[in-house]
Structure 1
Amino acid sequence: MARIQIVARINLDVVVRLDGAVSTGAQLRGRFDKGRLGGGGSNTGVALAYAGHDVALFAHVGEDSGGTAMLAELAGLGIDVSRVRRFAGPTPPVLVLLDPGGERTIIRGCPSVALPPVSPDPLEKPDVLYVKAYGAEVADLLRARMGSCLVVSHAPPAGTADWPAHVMVDSAAHMTAEALADPYRAARVLAGEGLRWMVVTDGSRGATAFGPSGPIRVPAEPATVVDSTGAGDVFTAGLIHGLTGGAPIRDAMSIGTRWAALAVTSPTSVPPASLRDLIA
């Protein structure tokens, strides 16, 4: 299996289960659950670890019991957390508002804690680098890895320039109208000539890969949604798993939609262990 480096968040997700949908002026009742492991690094990394990949996570958590517990949980699932950095103080919670239909609204503290500089050992030779973090140090890492491994990145914030990647992923809900009009062109402006695919996820409508020869669409897998938290991250894990195995982009996206469909049936942020049953 592949050696995969992931530069992304580890979150302490605090879930509030609401009795109605979030809307302007609403007065809702909620049940607060205790904090649970979440974040793009955890959600994607756990899925790839279940698939048997060698996953190393680059992130940070606080020097508190919550941070220690999350690292222990990740290590117990087979993820290398030796490069996760600890900062003084508690791990900031991320509030996840969950409506009765399983759709979530995420609220982060402002300002959020920025990732520290990322500096993997240059002698390491990963097969894949996946990034869902931003900053000059991360951009330098992307440039350094473009010639030696598959580079997959979540699309960076608006206003970012020079963000190299072979595959870029974003949600249609987060894209501007201009980017949605021509996703491949918009992504290539960021990623340069090395870009192979711009993959756009669109919830229950599935996902589309945009490339130089036109769009390739796959439908979403039917699922009973319990908690949609982390579905996009698990889709990306399935996409990476497929691509590292040599699958065409359509087949790799189909793996992603199957994994995401299972993830939303679980009342967790990270995917359930039953994901192993989907691994070919």
Structure 2
Amino acid sequence: MRIVTVGDNCMDVYGAGGKAYPGGNPVNVAVYLSGLGAESAYVGWVGTDAYGKMMIEAIRAKGVDTSRITRAEGRTAVTCVEMDGSERKLGDYDEGVNAQLRLTAEDLQFIQSYELVHSGIWGHAEEYFPLFKEKGLQTSFDFADRLNHELAASLPPHVDYPFFSYTQDDGYIRQWLKEVQGRGPKIAVATLGENGSLAYDGSRFYRCGVEQVNVVDTMGAGDSYIAGFLHALLRGLPVQECMEAGTRAAAKTIGYWGAW
């Protein structure tokens, strides 16, 4: 299977120790997919600083195709992270060159050679999703916890598999997933943190719990869930098994520092 991710990246810099880890939803999903055995690529912009070089080298070392990463004059995005126990607290975010991301005709041609394209709410790639759908690609998008963001209202007709973050299985999120799925997606999914995940395919809801593991750092848990879900999906597995695959991937990720 071949999956390409598009959009933002950032260096997650942990204040206490000063360690920097490559991250960002599209980057993380591409790396996790490669680890699961998929052929993955990442398309995005990094800066001409040391972090940009570090980002490309780290992604490439994980087996991800980096041939369409652009080094744009300026800074690579940085997120400051502090830890409160095993929970991360995100501080200042410098978007760097990501703010000006644009895809070239060559980028678009490259993306169209893949089966599925994934991006996220901070990726600046949403304008290309109507084209991706028109060209026959399957599409996935992470809206994170921004259920009230304008993109959560406008983009679902162009997204086959939208992912959201919420806190619990309640009437609000069930109605939300129904409404989103009714605007065009095949399956709408909500990850619920320690309460597992919920999905709706137009016919029924699916529930999946969590695996009990020693939590070290929750960074990347949602991204690895998406990768596990998509990997199982493209193998033709049913929804429940896709959710279980996502849960297993997330459980592995929260057992170590950094996203990967």
CA distance in structure 2 between the aligned counterparts of 1:133 and 1:204, rounded to whole angstroms: 23
> Could you tell me which of 66, 72, 77 is aligned with 1:87?
72
Query: 1:7 — aligned with what?
Result: 6
Percent identity (aligned): 24
RMSD across aligned positions (CA): 2.4
Of residues 91, 98, 105, the one that matches 2:89 is 105
Q: Is the 8 A contact 2:217 2:258 kept in 1?
A: yes
Q: Write the distance in 2 (CA, Å) between the matches of 1:108 and 1:197.
A: 33
- 2:137 matched residue in structure 1: 149
Q: How does 1:1-280 map to 2 (within 5 A)?
A: 2-16=1-15, 31-100=16-85, 102-109=86-93, 113-114=98-99, 116-119=101-104, 120-122=107-109, 124-133=112-121, 138-146=125-133, 148-155=136-143, 157=146, 158-160=149-151, 161-163=153-155, 164-173=158-167, 180=173, 182-188=175-181, 192-193=183-184, 195-270=185-260
- What secondary structure does 2:225 align onto? helix
Deviation at 1:144, TM superposition (A): 2.0
Change (3 A) 1:239 1:221: same
Q: Displacement, 1:216?
A: 0.4
Is the 1:183–1:210 contact (alpha carbons within 8 Å) kept by the matching residues of 2? no
The verdict on how the C-alpha distance between 1:92 and 1:130 changes in structure 2, with shifts beyond 3 A counting, is closer
Q: 1:90-142: per-residue Cα shift (whole Å, max 9, x none)?
A: 32321111112x1111124367642512343337321111111458x733422
More helix by share: 2
State the distance in 2 between where 1:217 and 1:231 align.
18
For residue 20 of structure 1, what is the aligned residue in structure 2?
none
What TM-score do you get using the length of structure 2 for normalisation? 0.86
Instruction: Give me the whole-angstrom Cα distance separating, in 2, the residues matched to 1:134 and 1:109.
Output: 12
Structure with higher Rg: it is 1
8 Å CA contact 2:78–2:94 kept in 1: the answer is no
> Contact conserved, 2:83 with 2:89, CA < 8 A, in 1?
yes
Distance 1:115 1:249 in 2: 36
SS of corresponding position for 1:213: coil
Number of aligned residue pairs: 248
The alpha carbon displacement at 1:44 in A equals: 1.1
* Distance change (3 Å), C-alpha of 1:115 and 1:214: farther
Residue equivalent to 1:21? none
Please give the alpha-carbon distance, in whole angstroms, between the structure 2 residues aligned to 1:56 and 1:133.
19
Q: C-alpha separation between the residues in 2 aligned to 1:115 and 1:250?
A: 38
Secondary structure at the aligned position of 1:121 is classed as: helix
Structure 1: gaps (5+ residues):
17-30, 271-280
> 1 CA distance for matches of 2:208 and 2:171?
23
Contact 1:38 1:269 survives alignment (8 Å)? yes
Segments of structure 2 that go 5 or more residues without pairing to the other structure are none
Tell me the distance in 2 between the aligned counterparts of 1:47 and 1:92: 20
Q: Following the alignment from structure 1 to structure 2, what is the Cα–Cα distance between the partners of residues 92 and 125? A: 28
CA distance in 1 between partners of 2:173 and 2:48 (Å): 41
Give the aligned residue type for 1:84.
I
Q: Distance in 2 between matches of 1:143 and 1:228?
A: 33
